[in-house]
Structure 1
């Protein structure tokens, strides 16, 4: 009996150590999973129209792609997904620019040619630098439309909470990093381990600006139910589910139609009937 107890104690000790090891690995590696940070071989932003580097005194270096709006029209400030960089957003920026809407894409620390290491705090700091530069050029919050894709939604929502924009567009947003982690690591205490929670769901009820959420019904990365849940949490949200769209082809699947939809929303034009999405 004593020998059996010793075997059981040893077995459960191994299990406990293995579980602790998984927790340690999840804590240590989570930022590389959340922010894979594609890098550019260039050392500086591309020498193309709209690309430039912001270097405010005492602040982080932030690369941006800025295509100014036509007089009287808003500027869309865009926060990209975790597998993108601003050099890949030229087509999106030009499409909106052709419709008169300004476009300002913000690079994250450690992405593209930006120095630094990505984190929730670092992404917010980069966003504030870009928005401050935009305000200095004469574009205030009342003419700013916050925009995002995937993980960028956490940045856009935080900037909206801080009063940095008059409208917001969220493409395939998640409710929080904790909720995303639970999809993959449901056997771990994710709420204790997550370092960058980006809890958009908790912030949404206090954000009263108009919000447009576009989400593919075949999204295999961020379930469409997350976008629908956010739509129910924002006081003034329109949720539009894109049939057949996955996570990485949400805009591209029906490109002209969705670009027109976003531009119309940004210009404060007629909106589709309010839809909170299905439960």
Structure 2
């Protein structure tokens, strides 16, 4: 065999092999769950009531959630966490919202914490929608705020596009998950082999509520430009808040983040400014 042809065949075999390996093991790279025993007891570290909830989903999934209550709340924040740990570790972020007089609700994805079920992109959307309807049975929809953090921002955008919450807040979000994955593995065609495509930019185009982006300009995990691109998709109903010096995991430690969050949650004129007009769709 011609050495050149032989070399090409070897290259193709190795390249295809890498693609197959990436397809098979990607969940181990994208998700880093913490599992909890059924006997684990959640304890609220803050002076607000907290309930542990289980939501039975029609596909056989059983989803664990935490629901924090604050007296005389203004509404509820449905918080979609990132791709690590369990709601045990993320529960501390409830304080950012209950301190501003909002109830707080957060689910664990399948395979995280006590949640059971198969984890796929479509199933997470389905589970999130079940959970959203659970909230709608307890709160007026116009008092539900959806908040998506990091990987959770894509799931949050999907649910906001299916419903009519008061607003969507995207913290360190991505334009699409395959765009993000391509940055880390540029030699592979991630758009075609990735299982979790999560095209956030498509979801936000059909959202009928104000969308507020929060992103640090020193974020090297999910670059700031992802939020810039999303903000350009819907400039009439979105606003980008850039956190100067903000990295991917340090925003809650910065005063400017809390000032920004307070403005988004409590500045009604800001909300009205970006609220879509009835004849916009």
TM-score class normalised by the smaller sequence: 0.7 to 0.9
Which runs of at least 4 in structure 1 moved beyond 4 Å after TM superposition? none
Deviations 1:69-88 (A, max 9, x none): 54361211000011242112
Residues 96 and 153 of structure 1: is their aligned pair in 2 closer, same or farther, counting only changes over 3 Å?
same
CA contact (8 A) 1:38 1:83 kept: yes
Partner of 1:48 in structure 2? 43
SS at match of 1:46: coil
Q: Residue 104 of structure 1 aligns to a residue in which SS?
A: strand
Counterpart contact for 1:153–1:173, Cα < 8 Å? yes
CA distance in 1, matches of 2:39, 2:267: 36
For 1:177, the equivalent position in structure 2 comes to 177
Q: Deviations over 1:127-155 (max 9, x none)?
A: 12322221222x13211000011000111
**Structure 1 residue 268, shift from structure 2 partner:** 5.2
Between Structure 1 and Structure 2, how many residues are aligned?
266
Verify the 8 A CA contact 1:176 1:200 in the aligned structure 2.
Answer: yes
Choose from 6, 10, 13 the match for 1:14.
10
1:265 to 1:194, Cα distance in 2 relative to 1, 3 A: same
Other structure's SS at 2:142 match: helix
- SS of 1:89's equivalent in the other structure is helix
1:87 and 1:263 map into 2 onto residues whose CA distance is: 24
**Partner deviation per Cα, 1:3-49 (whole Å, 9 max, x = no partner):** xx522222111111000001101111122222222323x32553435
Q: Tell me, what secondary structure is at the counterpart of 2:10? A: helix
One of 19, 24, 37 as aligned partner of 2:20: 24
- CA shift, 1:164, in A, is 4.5
> CA 1:150–1:18 in structure 2 vs 1: closer, same or farther (change >3 Å)?
same
CA distance in 1 between counterparts of 2:136 and 2:115 reads 22
Cα separation, 1, equivalents of 2:136 and 2:39: 24
Confirm or deny: 8 A CA contact 2:79 2:104 kept in the other structure. Answer: yes
Contact 1:167 1:266 in 2 (8 A): no
Structure 1 residues 186 and 130: alpha-carbon distance in aligned structure 2, compared to 1, 3 A threshold: same
Q: Which residue of 2 aligns with 1:33?
A: 29
* Aligned match of 2:226: 226
| Structure 1 residue 57: Cα displacement | 6.3
Cα deviation for residue 264 of structure 1 reads 4.1
Match of 1:104? 105
- Extract unaligned runs of 5+ from structure 2: 45-49, 275-281
1:92 alignment counterpart: 93
Task: Assess if the C-alpha contact under 8 Å between 1:45 and 1:53 holds in 2.
Answer: no
Q: Does 1:265 align with 2:260?
A: no
The 5-angstrom pairing of residues 1-279 of structure 1 reads: 6-40=2-36, 42-44=37-39, 46-49=41-44, 50-56=50-56, 58=58, 59-71=60-72, 73-137=74-138, 139-234=139-234, 235-254=236-255, 257-267=256-266, 269-271=268-270
On the 8 A contact 1:169/1:262 being kept in 2, the answer is no
SS of the residue corresponding to residue 146 of structure 2 reads: strand
